Structure formats: C-alpha cells, structure tokens
Structure 1
Amino acid sequence: MKKLLGEERREAIITILKNEQRPVTGTALAKRTNVSRQVIVNDMALLKAKNEPIMATSQGYVYLSEHPNHRVFEREIASFHTPEQAEDELNTLVDAGVTVKNVTVEHPVYGEITASIMVSSRYDVQQFIQKVTATEASLLMNLTEGAHLHVISADDEKKLDAAIEQLHLKGYLLPEA
C-alpha cells in the first residue's frame, strides 16, 4: 500500500470518516493511509484547526455531518448514581433509542469538564465500559461523588421522554432541590 502524504492523506481521512457509519480508530486510519497513529493525531489537529467537524470519541473519530432532512432533538439531563451503576444508566438510555453524546462534571479547580462518549447501542456501551476497565481509567462522575450531566439526542422527542422516564424510575436522575 502506498503511503499517503500531507493534504492527500487528510482528504482521504475526511472521505473515510464521512463514509463510515461508526467511529474509526486512529489505528485503523493509520493502517488505511499507511502512516503511524501519531501522524493521524497530528492530522486530526490540523483538520480541526481548519474547522472540519471531527470529534474524537472513546470509540474513535467521527465526522459530524449535518443531514438537512434529519432532525435531531437534544436534552441535557442531571444524573446521580454509583460508578457500579454507570453501565446500567448508559444501557437504559441507549435502550430507549437515544445517543449519549457526552458527560460533564463540575470540578472545583477546572470548572466544567466535558468528555465525549457518543454511545448509541449496548455494543457501544460495552466497548466504552471495557475501555474504562482495561485502562483502569476513572469515570468523571467519581470527581463529583456521582453527580454528572449528559447531553442525550434522538430523532424523536418521545425517545428522549422515554429515556428520562426510565432513568427516573431507576432513581438515576439528580433530585431537584
């Protein structure tokens, strides 16, 4: 396979990301363009600097293309639960047909810390939890003893309502003061 250089490689990366239905890892992009993963990381920085709508998620890179005929609804929810309940919380949300876009916590020093999650299925949740476990990473909610926010999205507001209702029934929503 020919090693792709500079602008040609970055154009190839954009094409790959636009054509994929799922996130693509830096390692997979590196193999497809015959360069190192670090070159891909550098390319992503350059592409983002050119305002390409690329997001790094726990599963890989995604191109955030807008579909004019595809309406998306979003809500921010305040959750509270134990770290052991994180997988169930995420599965509850994706089972209702929503995507969990991110998690945000309020840090006493840094202020708001937001990280992309982008899980839409039980498989995505399983991959996310496996990665957290394998890397021995700490969930952001551990910084706030369980309190955190999620932005959730769906193609129908009824799915958002159902997801929130299920979280309420399980006691995963932060009670309003």
Structure 2
Amino acid sequence: MKKMLGEERRLQLLAQLKKSKTPITGTDLAKFANVSRQVIVNDMTLLKARNEPIIATSQGYLYMQQEQLQHTVERTLACSHTSEQAEDELLTIVDCGGTVKNVIVEHPIYGELTASIMVSNRHEVKQFIERINATQANYLSALTGGIHLHVIAAPSVEVLTLIEQTLQKKGYLITENTV
C-alpha cells in the first residue's frame, strides 16, 4: 500500500471519521494511511485546529456529527469519590442514559486539566476501566484527592436531572451542602 502524504492523507482520514458511527483507533487509522500512529496524532491535532469536531476518546477518534451535537443537553457536575468508586460512578451515569464526555481537574501548577472520556454504555465503561487497569494509569482525580468535574451529555434535561439525583444519593456529587 502506498503511503498517503500530507493534506491528501488528512482529507482521507477526515472522510473515514465522518462515515464511521463509532470511534476509530489511531492504530487503525495509521494502518489505513500506511503511516505511524504518531503521524495520525499530529494529523488529528491539525484537523482539530481547523475546528473539525474530532474528539479523542478512550476508544479512538470520533467525528461529532452535527445531529449528535444538536440533540443533546449538557451539564457540568462536581464529583468526589475514591479511585475504587470510579467505575460505579461511570456506570451510574451511563445506566441513567448519559454520556460522560470528559473529566476536568484543577491542578495547582497547570491549572485546569481536561481529558476526554466519551463513554455512553456499560461496554465502553468496561473498556475504559480495563485500559486504566492494564496501563496502571492513575485517574486524573487522583491529583485532587478525588475531586473532579464531568461534562455530562444526555438527550434531555430530565435525564440530566435523574443522573444528578442518582449521583447525589450515592454520595458522589459535591453540592453546596457538602462543601
């Protein structure tokens, strides 16, 4: 297979992402373009800089279709829990019908750090947790004693409210009463 070059490669990668309904790994994109995974990382950065709605998830790269962006509502929730409770927190959110878009922590040196999570169902949560465990990586919330924010997307305000109430009952939500 011939190696794809520069702009032609980025246009082909963008076309692959646009037609896929599920995330595509950097490794799979690298095989498609016959380049290294690092070249793909650089290409994704350049495409994002052009305001293409590409997000890097724990499952791969995803192009956010316009209809996906229009039919959801979002809420940022302040949470706190132990590393051992992270899986339950994520499962709680997806079981209620939400998508965990990211995690945000306030670092004393770097300021706000944000990482994409993009999990919407139990299978994606399982994959995310397995990758954390396999790499022995720490959750970002480990930097802040368990305190973090999540941007949650859902199909309605009612679903967001259900998620918030369920997290509150489990003690994962930080409210004005808990501060």
TM-score interval, normalised by the smaller of the two chains = over 0.9
- Structure 2 residue aligned with 1:74: 74
Count of matched residue positions in the alignment of Structure 1 and Structure 2? 177
Q: Post-superposition shift, 1:87? A: 0.2
- Structure 2 residue aligned with 1:39: 39
Please list every run of 5 or more consecutive structure 2 residues that lacks an aligned counterpart in the other structure: none
SS in 2 for 1:137: coil
Between the two proteins, what is the percent identity of the paired residues? Answer: 59
Q: Post-superposition shift, 1:3? A: 2.8
Distance in 2, matches of 1:173 and 1:45, equals 33
Letter paired with 1:153: A
- Structure 1 residue aligned with 2:56: 56
Letter paired with 1:96: C
- Structure 1 residue aligned with 2:110: 110
Q: 1:48 to 1:135 in 2, by over 3 A?
A: same
Stretch deviating more after TM superposition (80-89 or 102-111)? 102-111
Residue 172 of structure 1 pairs with residue 172 of structure 2: yes
Contact 1:58 1:128 in 2 (8 A): yes
Superposed CA offset, 1:61-91 (max 9, x none) = 1112322894210001011111100000000
Distance in 2, matches of 1:14 and 1:128, equals 24
Q: Post-superposition shift, 1:12? A: 1.1
Stretch deviating more after TM superposition (79-88 or 158-167)? 158-167
Distance in 2, matches of 1:8 and 1:110, equals 36
Distance in 1, matches of 2:149 and 2:105, equals 6
SS in 2 for 1:117: strand
Report the RMSD for the aligned CA atoms in angstroms. Answer: 1.6
Distance in 2, matches of 1:6 and 1:29, equals 14
Letter paired with 1:173: L
Letter paired with 1:21: K
Letter paired with 1:2: K
Superposed CA offset, 1:83-137 (max 9, x none) = 1000000000001111001111111222211111111111111111111111111
TM-score normalized by the length of structure 1: 0.93
Q: How do 1:1-177 and structure 2 match up within 5 A?
A: 1-67=1-67, 70-176=70-176, 177=179
TM-score normalized by the length of structure 2: 0.92
Letter paired with 2:119: V
Letter paired with 2:22: R
Distance in 1, matches of 2:116 and 2:83, equals 18
Contact 1:70 1:155 in 2 (8 A): no
Q: Post-superposition shift, 1:153? A: 0.5
Distance in 2, matches of 1:105 and 1:72, equals 24
Please list every run of 5 or more consecutive structure 1 residues that lacks an aligned counterpart in the other structure: none
